[in-house]
Amino acid sequence: MGYNGYEVLELMEQNDSTAFHRVSIDNLEVGMIVEDVFASDGTLLFSNERAINGLEQIELLKKRGVSSVTVRVDTQVNDNHHPDKLSKKESFSSVREAAYYHELTIAKEVHKEILETTKNVLSSVRMGKQFSIKAIESTAIQMVESVLRNPDALVSLSQIKGYDEYTFIHSVNVAILLTSFAHAMSYSPDQLLKVGVGGILHDIGKMRIPDRVLNKKGKFTDDEFQLMQKHPAYGIQIVKDLQSISELSKTVILQHHERFNGSGYPHKLSGNDISEMGMMAAVADVYDAMTTDRVYRTAWTPHNALALIFKGSESDYSRKIVELFTKNLGIYPVGSFVRLTTGEMGVVVRVDKGNLLTPDVLLLFGMDKKRVKDPYECRLSEKLSDKNGMPIGIEISLNPKDFNVIISEFITENIFK
Ligand SMILES: [Fe+2]
């Protein structure tokens, strides 16, 4: 599991000598390079040290309630003073894009295998049979290798959701989201493997909950809710005798329902008594749950789910972990249904981590709001302008169901060209 060209570039970026300082929004100027900027509602507006390239961007930040930003010093003015830096940034973007599209074809196969293994393991436990930790480990190795080659490809596939068989699809999605998140937080390949195993097994304790409770359509009674809350501890009981299960994997299983303010379960841990991995698992778990349709409620859009989790970051989750999770996933994650400033609407099919505001959007509705016969892709990173010369961007994230759009169809069918 070595580093590929993309990761070497990423490491070069991280090793640049940098200095930052905080400036008021009124002192922000075109050409300055800003660090991550969050709006007052938790939306990540800028990421990865972006240059301010116009007064309208400063106005946008003011409108979104940003009062100060962190600026990279010694690198303000414009990039012409740093031709080497500019060319490195450009090559970084194209290498990353190529790696993403190449990895998607491999990730599709890996994804299938993770789904199959996870389904087999959970079904075995449900029937009281033994299961093979080796099978989970070998699946997790493939998952980690895909994430190391390009973390975005598998994450795109985690947007595939289903009404049925919620627990096993959710387990796969949490494993992918958590492994990608841990990779972004510089966990080693060996740790990523343990995180992946933990993600796949995080809800295994639910296999001891009777079906009539686990898949109940209505509200839980107090007794049923108490029973459901036992699933992290049941999970530990199921895996405790497995020889090769790691402490990190067990932490994911045991702590993914603990909450920062002590309101979680099973041990009502609070603050720093919850491990970093426990807090990461909590955010990945709740994000996937919120963005999935359930019998008793419809899914939140990815954008709105991130905003709500951010709201809870003072009480339920670690603020820092929520910020890092958002940054890793994107402001408009793959699978978001969005309306552009032109009125066209479509599905986000690729996120550019260098600029989270300008993903690639597969447009399904034209400016006349009518469904188009042949969807077409719009690359917002190409700085397109409308007929009035105004820059085209995303206006809002919408619920695809209101427009009879099934997102997973576009991820599975249109993303693989
Ligand atoms: Fe759970």
pLDDT score at 388:
79
Top-ranked range on mean pLDDT: pick from 133-137, 332-336, 401-405? 133-137
Q: Report the C-alpha gap between 270 and 275 in whole angstroms.
A: 10
Give 235 Cα–ligand 1 centroid separation in angstroms: 9
Distance of CA 409 to the CA centre of its chain: 19
- Provide DSSP, 66-80: --EEEEETT--S-GG
Give 84 Cα–ligand 1 centroid separation in angstroms: 48
Q: Report the C-alpha gap between 411 and 364 in whole angstroms.
A: 13
Rounded to the nearest 5 degrees, what angle is found at the Cα of 128, between the Cα atoms of 218 and 293? 30
Q: Report the C-alpha gap between 168 and 288 in whole angstroms.
A: 12
Give 134 Cα–ligand 1 centroid separation in angstroms: 23
Confidence at 178, pLDDT banded by 50, 70, 90: very high
Give 204 Cα–ligand 1 centroid separation in angstroms: 8
Residue type, 416: F
Q: Is the dihedral of CA 373, 357, 287, 311 positive or negative?
A: negative
* Residues 6+ positions from 225 with CB-CB distance below 8 Å: none
First to last CA, the chain: 27
pLDDT score at 412:
57
pLDDT score at 170:
93
Give 264 Cα–ligand 1 centroid separation in angstroms: 11
CB of 357 closer than 8 Å to CB of 70: no
Give 19 Cα–ligand 1 centroid separation in angstroms: 41
Give 358 Cα–ligand 1 centroid separation in angstroms: 33
* Residues 6+ positions from 197 with CB-CB distance below 8 Å: 133, 136, 137, 140, 245, 246, 249
CB of 80 closer than 8 Å to CB of 132: no
Confidence at 75, pLDDT banded by 50, 70, 90: very low
Give 257 Cα–ligand 1 centroid separation in angstroms: 6
Query: Which of residues 224 and 400 earns the better pLDDT score?
Result: 224
The mean predicted confidence, pLDDT, of the chain is 81
Give 22 Cα–ligand 1 centroid separation in angstroms: 40
| Residue whose tokens read 């809002």 | 396
Give 194 Cα–ligand 1 centroid separation in angstroms: 18
CB of 116 closer than 8 Å to CB of 122: no
CB of 154 closer than 8 Å to CB of 147: yes
pLDDT at 44 over 70: no
**Among 206, 207, 139, which residue's Cα sits nearest to residue 175?**
139
pLDDT score at 105:
84
pLDDT score at 150:
83
pLDDT score at 94:
52
* Residues 6+ positions from 82 with CB-CB distance below 8 Å: 75
Give the global pTM.
0.74
Strand order in the sheet with 360-365: 371-379, 360-365, 345-350, 337-340, 394-398
> Could you give the 3-state DSSP secondary structure of residue 263?
coil
Give 247 Cα–ligand 1 centroid separation in angstroms: 18
Q: Is the dihedral of CA 68, 182, 333, 401 positive or negative?
A: negative
Q: Which two tokens stand for residue 47?
A: 């990421």
Cα radius of gyration rounded to whole Å, the chain: 22
- Provide DSSP, 108-123: HHHHHHHHHHHHHHHH
* Residues 6+ positions from 31 with CB-CB distance below 8 Å: 51, 52, 53, 76, 77, 78
Each residue's pLDDT tens digit, 237-294: 999 988 889 999 999 999 999 999 999 999 999 999 999 999 999 999 999 999 987 7
| Residue whose tokens read 């249904």 | 337
pLDDT score at 203:
96
> Could you give the 3-state DSSP secondary structure of residue 65?
coil
pLDDT score at 91:
41
Confidence at 10, pLDDT banded by 50, 70, 90: very low
| Residue whose tokens read 């951010």 | 310
pLDDT score at 162:
60
Confidence at 7, pLDDT banded by 50, 70, 90: very low
pLDDT at 20 over 50: yes
pLDDT score at 12:
27
Q: Report the C-alpha gap between 78 and 98 in whole angstroms.
A: 27
**Among 194, 146, 205, 143, which residue's Cα sits nearest to residue 172?**
143
> Could you give the 3-state DSSP secondary structure of residue 391?
strand
Give 282 Cα–ligand 1 centroid separation in angstroms: 9
Helix (H) or strand (E) holding 5: helix 5-15
Q: Which two tokens stand for residue 365?
A: 């509705």
Give 191 Cα–ligand 1 centroid separation in angstroms: 21
Phi, psi of 409 (to 5 degrees): -60, -35
